[in-house]
């Protein structure tokens, strides 16, 4: 089982320091996702069907709603330690017009970015804070995260030029049946527990629904539904108010063991361990 060294939730999204010891299934996030290696052997992610190596000298950048998987490549039993940033597009957009399209699946045109000396210094600062600081204030964490993110955005070769908000995968330009399906899946946890029911609700056969959904979104409906399930689970586990059994029931799992297996395949840890480790980044007193 992978080890959570530090895990924080906040307005920025999520930031995690993780020791990885197993692969992760193909999945996606609604966040801008930045991955950096902190220690251990070089590893790789698969993004858009391409293998993207993660080394001391580069980061892997993954768009919102972009399918990817983790390829575990341990060397001599040594596991890598990763810094994983899951950045909320709304939070990013509040700082710069450059980030207005950060929720778009073509925001990053390159999935690999070299790390310069300054970026490595900021990466080390974030990693050491997560590893050793008893408490990190929300404002301080936001500042150092933003410093790292802005360093990537200064590289024009990484970003699609122009305004993506009214192009491509915008819901406004989707087939109305897929818009309706996405609404059903987003507004009810039960709505994404059975893809066949969703397809039937928009008068499409299962095969036609899968084909049209991927054409409109770039994702299979199963991966999209799994994104929604995981985000629901992340929020519920961070709030710590509901039992794991209740969360699994709300997500449509017939047994707690099924929810645990699903969560571990996508996050690398069990939901109970995630709940034990997750912290909400505290805000400074006003």
Q: Is 188 helix (H, G, I), strand (E, B) or coil?
A: coil
Q: Is residue 286 part of a domain?
A: no
79: domain CATH number is 2.60.120.10
Supply the pLDDT for residue 156.
52
Is residue 231 located within the same domain as residue 266? yes
Contact 98, 159 (CB under 8 A): yes
**Together in a domain, 118 and 214:** no
The SS3 call for residue 38 is: strand
Per-residue confidence (pLDDT) for residue 190, from 0 to 100: 56
Quick: pLDDT tens for 26-60: 999 999 999 999 999 999 999 988 999 999 999 99
Pairwise CA distance, residues 205 & 198, whole Å: 10
Q: Which domain holds residue 107?
A: 3-158
126-175 confidence digits (pLDDT tens): 999 999 988 888 788 889 998 988 888 766 566 665 554 444 444 446 78
Q: Both 10 and 132 in a single domain?
A: yes
Average pLDDT of 212-234?
91
Last residue of a domain, one of 135, 158, 181: 158
Number of domains, the chain = 2
Q: How confident is the model at residue 1 (pLDDT cuts 50, 70, 90)?
A: low
Domain finish residue from 158, 179, 197: 158
Mean pLDDT value of segment 91-105: 85
Give me the residue label for tokens 């060397």.
75
Name 170's Cβ contacts closer than 8 Å, sequence gap at least 6.
none
CA–CA distance, 155 with 133 (Å, rounded to integer): 31
Report the C-alpha gap between 280 and 282 in whole angstroms: 6
Which pLDDT score, from 0 to 100, does residue 16 have? 93
* pLDDT tens-digit series, residues 236-256: 999 888 899 999 988 888 899
What pTM, to 2 d.p., does this model score? 0.87
Residue 211 has pLDDT above 90, yes or no: yes
Residue 165 lies in a domain: no
Residue that is written with structure tokens 């709304």 in the block: 90
Inform me whether the pLDDT recorded for 209 exceeds 90. yes
CA distances for 103 relative to 36, 61, 90, 96, 262, angstroms: 20, 13, 8, 14, 25
Checking if the pLDDT of 189 tops 80, the result is no
Averaged pLDDT of the chain: 86
The confidence band for 285, taking pLDDT boundaries of 50, 70 and 90, is: very low
Of the residues 131, 158, 185, the one at which a domain ends: 158
Same domain, 141 and 179: no
Do both 9 and 87 map to the same domain? Answer: yes
**Spatial separation of the C-alpha atoms in residues 183 and 230, rounded to whole Å:** 17
Q: What are the φ/ψ torsions at residue 31 (nearest 5 degrees)?
A: -90, 160
Does residue 166 sit within a domain? no
């Amino acid at each position: 089982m992978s080890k959570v060294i530090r895990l924080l939730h906040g307005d920025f999204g999520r930031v995690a320091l993780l020791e990885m010891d197993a692969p992760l299934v193909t999945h996606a996030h609604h966040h801008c996702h930045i991955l950096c290696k902190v220690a251990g052997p070089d590893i790789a992610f698969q993004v858009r069907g391409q293998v993207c190596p993660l080394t001391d000298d580069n980061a892997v950048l993954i768009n919102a709603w972009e399918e990817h998987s983790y390829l575990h490549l341990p060397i001599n039993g040594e596991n890598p330690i990763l810094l994983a940033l899951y950045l909320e597009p709304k939070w990013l957009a509040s700082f710069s017009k450059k980030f207005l399209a950060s929720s778009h699946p073509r925001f990053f045109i390159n999935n690999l970015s070299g790390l310069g000396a300054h970026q490595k210094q900021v990466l080390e600062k974030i990693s050491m804070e997560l590893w050793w600081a008893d408490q990190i204030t929300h404002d301080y964490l936001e500042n150092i995260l933003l410093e790292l993110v802005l360093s990537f955005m200064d590289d024009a070769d990484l970003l699609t030029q122009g305004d993506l908000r009214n192009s491509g995968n915008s819901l406004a330009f989707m087939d109305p049946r897929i818009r309706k399906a996405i609404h059903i899946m987003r507004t009810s946890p039960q709505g994404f527990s059975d893809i066949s029911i969703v397809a039937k609700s928009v008068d499409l056969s299962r095969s036609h629904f899968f084909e049209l959904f991927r054409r409109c979104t770039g994702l299979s409906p199963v991966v999209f539904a799994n994104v929604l399930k995981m985000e629901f689970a992340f929020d519920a586990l961070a709030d710590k108010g509901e039992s794991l059994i209740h969360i699994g029931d709300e997500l449509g799992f017939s047994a707690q063991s099924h929810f645990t297996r699903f969560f571990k395949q996508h996050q690398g840890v069990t939901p109970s361990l995630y709940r034990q480790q997750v912290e909400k980044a505290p805000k400074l007193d006003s």
